Amino acid sequence: MTVEQEHFGELDHPPRLLMGPGPINVHPRVLRAMSVQLLGQFDPEFTQYMNQTMALYRSVFETKNRWTFLIDGSSRAAIEAALVSSLTPGDAAVIVSSGRFGLLLAEIAGRCGARITMVEGAWGGVVEPEAIEAAVHRARPRLVACVHGDTSTTMAQPIEAIGGICRRYGALLYVDATATLSGMPVPVDAWGADIVTAGLQKCLGGPSGSAPITISDRAAEHIFKRRHVERGLATAGAGDAVGQRIASNYFDLAMIMDYWSDKRLNHHTEAASMLYAARECARVALEEGLPARFARHRLAGRAVVAGAQAMGLTIYGDPAYKMSHVTAVEIPAAIDGERVRERMRCDFEIEIGTAFGALAGKVWRIGSMGINARKDAVLTTLAALESVLRREGIGFAPGAGVDAALAVYDGATPA
């Protein structure tokens, strides 16, 4: 052991308020759940927790889908599982994109060997259903994939119409709801979506590392057409392999569904602490009630917007489509956006988000999600931002941002 290693201390950073686009602070109940002792993965008590988790997420996703469970990994693990298991190389896929995460869907679908048709909208807006329908009409895809709330731009793509288009053309609909599940309505069955995935580290208020997924019977039937049992697990009567094998073992949804079914056919070793976390996230969300939770996220987001505008800042993107709980604030010219973020962190222990790609250096992203969609968290963030901006020479009436946010909380500002 080197001298440096001997002196590594325990993890002991100051509590930081995470007001970026995720991860956010983990709900204390979720942290407590994660410290519960492990059980064996086939222990009846543990498999009961798995079943409970399935039931809880059916409610969170507002679905009756039997196949509602967790993928071990961050949100993109579930995206990858959904796409690699539903697209066979050569299949046509239509990707709806107006931000970084739409482009991520295209990149993953491309790796799956899909023939991709992009329907792109300008960043800061969404894609019109007419354009999506025209692309689906031309491409006759196996699957249409789109992001619900794209945190890179803070825009929320309306999904209802896309569900109808997919039904008319017999395509499966995949939706990435990583950043919206339990913060904005994600009514999977009402949308007519076939596969919807999420992550814990946004509105669900957990850590990254477990990704809830829900799959319609129609999509499951399609995926099971490519079911292959691992050779080392095969027993007489396990059934012959069918279809072209799914290219990933870890993300093979047919295998993972067999693991989460009563067969309990071994696949990976379920990440028990993450399952405890995901289960508790869902319990916390459902105890609050989804409508109340959506309203709390909406209110916090409105307060952030009002506060930023009162400081003379401009909100990025089309307000008609803005996600309720993530706000992109344009960085004023002549201000060093990274220095502001650093001062927020060093002087106030508050993190706000940076941006990527075309928006790098142009906006800060402020999230008000999960446990942080809270009046004091919003007001503290705005107060800190005011102080930092005034030190940077931006002029506005002291207290303007906090007062405007308080007016929203007091109900003085119409919704």
Ligand X SMILES: Cc1ncc(COP(=O)(O)O)c(C=O)c1O
Residues in contact with ligand X by CB under 6 A are 22, 74-76, 101, 147, 150-151, 176, 178-179, 199, 208
In the bound state with ligand X, the residue whose beta carbon lies nearer, of 73 and 401, is 73
Nearer to ligand X, 88 or 327 (CB): 327
Query: Minimal distance in Å, beta carbon 306 to ligand X?
Result: 24
Q: Which of 290, 292, 309, 295 is nearest to 366 (CA)?
A: 309
- Residue 233: count other Cβ atoms within 10 Å of its Cβ: 12
Find the shortest distance in angstroms from Cβ 199 to ligand X.
4
Task: Report the nearest approach of ligand X to the CB of residue 156 (Å).
Answer: 10
- What pairs with residue 189 in β-bridges? none
Nearer to ligand X (CB atom), residue 107 or residue 221: 107
> Cβ 303 to ligand X, closest distance in Å?
22
Shorter beta-carbon distance to ligand X: residue 79 or 408: 79
Residue 52 or residue 354: which is nearer to ligand X going by CB?
354
151 or 368: whose CB is closer to ligand X?
Answer: 151
The residue with tokens 């590392």 is 209
Give residue 90's region: left, alpha or beta (phi > 0; psi -120 to 50): left
Q: What's the CA gap between 96 and 351, in Å, rounded? A: 30
Q: Report, in Å, the least distance between residue 13 CB and ligand X.
A: 21
Q: How far is the CB of 325 from ligand X (least distance, A)?
A: 12
Q: If you write DSSP's letter for every residue of 267-279 in order, what string do you get?
A: -S---HHHHHHHH
DSSP-assigned letters across all residues of 135-154: HHHHH--SEEEEESEETTTT
Taking the mean position of all CA atoms in its chain, how far away is CA 2?
40
What is the Cβ-side half-sphere exposure of residue 406, based on CA atoms within 13 angstroms? 7
